């Protein structure tokens, strides 16, 4: 699994991307393949129990993650 943590460099303009979970523009989070997940959503997903109603929403949104094809 390929995960990249993106942080804003001091003194530069923040780069905002749309989170696939909350669909808000955020500047800090992780990249999971080609998709961006903000820090707040990542934290909430990790702390959510599988029997909570919001868990199903997270599953639906994570289905949007595009897995890059591996060429041989």
**3-class SS at 34?**
coil
Question: Does a structural domain hold residue 70?
Answer: no
Spatial distance between the Cα atoms of 29 and 43, rounded to a whole number of angstroms = 10
- Domain region containing 55: 3-62
Mean per-residue pLDDT, 35-51: 95
Across the chain, the runs of DSSP E, i.e. the strands, are 3-6, 17-18, 25-26, 29-32, 35-38
Report the mean per-residue pLDDT for the chain.
Answer: 84
State the Rg of the chain over Cα.
14
Locus of tokens 């990542």: 42
Q: What is the pLDDT of residue 2?
A: 52
Q: How many domains does the chain have?
A: 1
Contact 4, 23 (CB under 8 A): no
**What pTM was computed for the model?**
0.72
Question: Does a structural domain hold residue 49?
Answer: yes
């Amino acid at each position: 699994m390929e995960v990249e943590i993106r942080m804003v460099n001091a003194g530069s303009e923040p780069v905002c991307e749309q989170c696939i979970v909350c669909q808000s523009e955020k500047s800090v989070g992780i990249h999971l393949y080609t998709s961006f997940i903000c820090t707040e959503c990542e934290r909430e997903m990790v702390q959510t129990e599988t029997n909570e109603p919001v868990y199903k929403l997270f599953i639906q949104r994570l289905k949007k993650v595009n897995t890059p094809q591996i060429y041989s």
